[in-house]
Structure 1
Amino acid sequence: MHEPRLRPRLPGPRRHPGPPHRRGPQAGVGPTPVPAHAREPEQAPGARGGPPPRPCGFHPARSGHSFLPPPPAPGPPPGGPPQDPAERARAICLRLLTGSPRTRKQLADALRKREIPDEVAEEVLSRFEDVGLIDDAAFAGAWVESRHHGRGLARRALARELRTKGVEPTLIQEAVEQLDSEREEATARELVDRKLRATRGLDRDRRLRRLAGMLARKGYPEGMALRVVRQALEAEGEDTDGLDESF
């Protein structure tokens, strides 16, 4: 009878028996707790990248490091005003003309106030005149039409306003000649009719002075103002005999 032959055991890595499998937690048994200073920083779910973990006790201000971005390089801020005087002058004039028409003198005063050199300002303003962006004659004509229709100003007051805006005398004369005496007197009658009711209850002389003074402030000649006011008072039944010829 033959005995069974045993297979020889081949050498190999030893297997260390692990802890017995247990169900549920058991007091006194479990992984060794990790100290707080040695734990890895947790990252938000779905976050990519992020700053590297700081070593324990690291402080940027104390260590001389900073995570702030470096200061910008010196120079004009992006989108700021141009540094070239001619470019600045053009930008200033275009901005002012966008709001409303201006005379050459008004633009020159604005450039001088912003310290644009005179020779640069003259060159830019002349160029604007060449292309029609500055037109003092058209400005004066539009000013006369608008101010006479909207405020009831007469030729004398309109000429005074245009002088303050730097319009040349010849251009002022041409502009105010758009208003003839008949149109001026018709506007004066409209102004008196609007104010006449507010003067009712006053004596005749006070009404005359108030209405004629209103026309004088708007630039109407004294003779025209007195004639228009007297006719308006007569139409209301006032006795105008013996009224002063001046006020």
Structure 2
Amino acid sequence: MSVGADGPRTSRTTTGGGGRSGGRRPRPSSDDGGFVSEIEAEEAAREIALRQLSAAPRSRAQLEQAMAKRDVEPELVARVLDRFTEVGLVDDDEYARMLVRTRHAERGLSRRGIAVELRRKGIDDATAAGALEQVDEDDEESAARVHVRRKLAGTAGLDSQVRRRRVYAALGRRGYGPELIGRLLREELADVDDGDIPGDW
């Protein structure tokens, strides 16, 4: 404290980074090396998430990863995404259901293949299981049969073992098991006129 003409004055000490402003902890700015308020930081975090969602539907885990890559603090990530969840912008249940529908209808993936993708996108097992109920065994077999027919048509004239390997590889990548693939191969080739079905098909 110092004494001036108008009486005692209390000097203020400042801490590194300019001290506190309005009760908010200053945060580093990625643009100019200065500081941004928590309000500004939260707005920037929201913008990151909104840009991700405008490009394509995302799971909460995907948004968390995108924000972490931009050095958004974990508590801020949680606050922003909690709010997005409240207003329906983030909904892992709906995201998982959408992914199951599109991957099965458009790509013909099996439930196992879709489950792998859901896990990779950060969907928990319980949510994934609920979404996968949209596809039953009959749906799965029908999709697999379509792929078998297409692959057989595309490999007509090739050696039987080559055709077999290609069918197994194509459907295996989509998550179908070897027993189902083998059975569908035998069924689809049952009426072939130009030779017997190999015993190991």
Q: Please, what TM-score do these two structures have when normalized by structure 1?
A: 0.63
Q: Please, what TM-score do these two structures have when normalized by structure 2?
A: 0.77
> Equivalences for 1:123-202 in 2 at 5 Å?
123-202=79-158
Match of 2:190, SS? helix
Unaligned runs of 5+ in 1: 1-75
Give, in whole Å, the separation in 2 of the partners of 1:193 and 1:153: 15
Match of 1:235, SS? coil
Deviation string 1:178-201 (CA, Å, 9 cap, x unpaired) is 111111111111111112122111
Which amino acid counterpart does residue 196 of structure 2 have in structure 1? D
Q: Which residue of 2 aligns with 1:116?
A: 72
Q: Which residue of 2 aligns with 1:239?
A: 196
Q: Which residue of 2 aligns with 1:212?
A: 168
Give, in whole Å, the separation in 2 of the partners of 1:196 and 1:173: 32
1:106 to 1:146, Cα distance in 2 relative to 1, 3 A: same
> Equivalences for 1:29-44 in 2 at 5 Å?
none
Q: In percent, how many aligned pairs have the same letter?
A: 41
> Equivalences for 1:76-115 in 2 at 5 Å?
84-115=40-71
Higher helix share: 2
- Rg: which structure is higher? 1
Q: CA deviation at 1:163?
A: 0.5
Match of 1:108, SS? helix
Give, in whole Å, the separation in 2 of the partners of 1:242 and 1:98: 53
Deviation string 1:131-168 (CA, Å, 9 cap, x unpaired) is 11100010010001101111111011100001011001
Give, in whole Å, the separation in 2 of the partners of 1:214 and 1:126: 40
Give, in whole Å, the separation in 2 of the partners of 1:102 and 1:204: 43
Which amino acid counterpart does residue 182 of structure 1 have in structure 2? D
After superposing on structure 2, the runs of 4+ consecutive aligned residues of structure 1 that deviate more than 4 Å are none
Q: CA deviation at 1:204?
A: 2.0
Contact 2:160 2:198 in 1 (8 A): no
Give, in whole Å, the separation in 1 of the partners of 2:154 and 2:198: 22
Give, in whole Å, the separation in 1 of the partners of 2:198 and 2:69: 57
Contact 2:151 2:166 in 1 (8 A): no
Give, in whole Å, the separation in 2 of the partners of 1:242 and 1:101: 46
Unaligned runs of 5+ in 2: 1-30
Match of 1:188, SS? helix
Higher strand share: 2
Which amino acid counterpart does residue 234 of structure 1 have in structure 2? A
Q: CA deviation at 1:121?
A: 0.8
Q: CA deviation at 1:235?
A: 2.7
